[in-house]
């Protein structure tokens, strides 16, 4: 079905926090925008009387713009993927509102909760010149503020791994034989979870 364990837990959490309608509305909007893009592509293909080779070329050209040798994101690709965070997340962003509702539900039920910002390839983003003057620190502070108001603990791992830990542009990690990313992240998570369970979160 293409449903990962992460997806299953995330969907259950959304429903459990009472935000299913908000999430459904967001998904509908994404589908609408995606359909508009497909309609534009179909119109372009008809306009130039292109055959399947046009679509293949278009897909390859898009890939070349977004993925650099390595493979790593080009500047354009990184801006597309990390744009909202680099520009500064507003406190009312729909994802943050969902996070707040979810964590608040857990807190009100007496469930100790840890909000974790997972590792990103900030080394590569720095090489692309996207970090200097960016609003990344403000976005992280906004996320931290949301979790604080909702009553959760916080662990920021966004800059905990070097470029060598990432196998591709989208953030998948190398196997432990090359770089022990799971060990690095797990050790920090273990300390944070132990502190949370002991009632002494960082």
pLDDT single digits (tens) 23-51? 888 877 777 766 666 666 666 566 555 55
Give the residues across from 116 on adjacent strands.
155
Sign of the dihedral through C-alpha 157, 159, 165, 168: positive
Please name the residue that has the structure tokens 């299953």.
Answer: 8
Q: Residue 96 domain-assigned? A: yes
Q: Is the pLDDT of residue 180 over 90?
A: no
Q: Residue 93 domain-assigned? A: yes
Q: Residue 36 domain-assigned? A: no
Q: Residue 70 domain-assigned? A: yes
For residue 29, the model assigns a pLDDT of 77
For residue 144, the model assigns a pLDDT of 94
Q: Residue 64 domain-assigned? A: yes
Contact in structure between 181 and 165 (CB atoms under 8 Å): yes
Q: Which pair of structure tokens corresponds to residue 122? A: 């900030």
For residue 170, the model assigns a pLDDT of 81
Cα–Cα distance, 193 to 202 (Å, whole number): 10
Average pLDDT (7-26) is: 82
Reported confidence tier of residue 1, pLDDT bands at 50, 70, 90: low
H or E element, residue 72: strand 72-73
Q: Residue 66 domain-assigned? A: yes
Cα–Cα distance, 78 to 84 (Å, whole number): 11
Q: Residue 11 domain-assigned? A: no
For residue 60, the model assigns a pLDDT of 55
26: exposed, middle or buried (Cβ count in 10 Å: 0-12, 13-18, 19+)? middle
Query: Higher model confidence: residue 74 or residue 55?
Result: 74
Q: Which domain holds residue 74?
A: 51-197
In tens, the pLDDT along 64-119 reads 667 777 789 999 989 988 999 999 999 889 889 999 999 999 999 998 999 999 99
Closest CA to 101 of 81, 115, 84: 115
Cα–Cα distance, 43 to 38 (Å, whole number): 9
In tens, the pLDDT along 123-156 reads 999 999 999 999 999 999 999 999 999 999 999 9
Instruction: Count structural domains, the chain.
Output: 1
Average pLDDT (163-177) is: 78
Q: Is the pLDDT of residue 197 over 80?
A: yes
CA 83 to chain centre: 11
């Amino acid at each position: 079905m293409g449903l990962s364990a992460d997806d299953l837990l995330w969907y259950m959490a959304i429903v459990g926090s009472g935000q299913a309608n908000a999430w459904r509305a967001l998904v509908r909007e994404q589908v609408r925008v995606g359909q508009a893009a497909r309609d534009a592509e179909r119109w372009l293909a008809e306009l130039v009387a292109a055959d399947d080779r046009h679509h293949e070329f278009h897909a390859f050209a898009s890939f070349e713009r977004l993925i650099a040798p390595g493979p790593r994101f080009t500047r354009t690709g990184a801006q597309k993927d990390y744009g909202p965070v680099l520009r500064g997340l507003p406190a009312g962003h729909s994802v943050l509102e969902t996070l707040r509702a979810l964590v608040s539900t857990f807190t009100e039920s007496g469930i100790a909760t840890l909000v974790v910002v997972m590792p990103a390839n900030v080394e590569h983003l720095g090489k692309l010149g996207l970090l200097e003057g960016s609003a990344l620190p403000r976005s992280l502070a906004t996320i931290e503020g949301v979790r604080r108001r909702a009553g959760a603990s916080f662990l920021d791992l966004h800059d905990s791994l070097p470029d060598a830990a990432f196998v591709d542009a989208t953030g998948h990690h190398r196997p432990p034989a090359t770089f022990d990313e799971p060990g690095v992240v797990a050790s920090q998570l273990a300390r944070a979870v132990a502190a949370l369970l002991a009632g002494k979160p960082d």
